[in-house]
């Protein structure tokens, strides 16, 4: 049985792959350190007074400008308001409803 040796280029490529895999393995730890905010959880933990709407909001519907939205931060992209005691999550770019509370 003959044993063939890998050319040096293939050995270097294997080493690079191992290095990339090792770097990827550290990503979850780095991701855990981010301060991502769950919009729904934030809205539940920070309730506000109900907003008056003539009809219940529906998914995808545009929220009137008369409804005051509570943004999470300047760069979050989402805000919320309460309707009938439940949080309603809104996309700030379109003011459309993206999620209802339970």
Residues in the chain: 102
54 within domain boundaries: yes
Tell me the whole-structure pTM to 2 decimals: 0.63
33 within domain boundaries: no
Structural domains in the chain (count): 1
Residue 75 structural domain: 39-100
27 within domain boundaries: no
Which of 83, 78, 88 shows the shortest CA–CA distance to 38? 78
86 within domain boundaries: yes
Task: Encode pLDDT of 77-97 as tens digits.
Answer: 999 999 999 999 999 999 999
Task: Encode pLDDT of 13-55 as tens digits.
Answer: 455 444 433 444 434 433 333 345 688 999 999 999 999 998 9
Does residue 7 register a pLDDT over 60? no
Please tell me the distance from the alpha carbon of residue 101 to that of residue 40, in angstroms, as a whole number.
8
11 within domain boundaries: no
6 within domain boundaries: no
What is the 8-class DSSP label of residue 22? H
32 within domain boundaries: no
67 within domain boundaries: yes
Contact 60, 29 (CB under 8 A): no
Task: Encode pLDDT of 57-67 as tens digits.
Answer: 999 999 999 99
């Amino acid at each position: 049985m003959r044993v063939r040796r890998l050319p040096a280029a293939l050995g270097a490529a294997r080493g690079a792959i191992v290095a990339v895999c090792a770097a990827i393995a550290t990503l979850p730890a780095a991701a855990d350190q981010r301060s991502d905010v769950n919009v729904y959880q934030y809205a539940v933990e920070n309730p506000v007074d109900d907003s008056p709407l003539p009809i219940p909001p529906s998914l995808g519907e545009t929220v009137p400008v008369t409804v005051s939205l509570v943004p999470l931060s300047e760069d979050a992209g989402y805000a919320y308001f309460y309707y009938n005691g439940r949080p309603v999550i809104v996309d700030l770019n379109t003011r459309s409803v993206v999620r209802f509370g339970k």
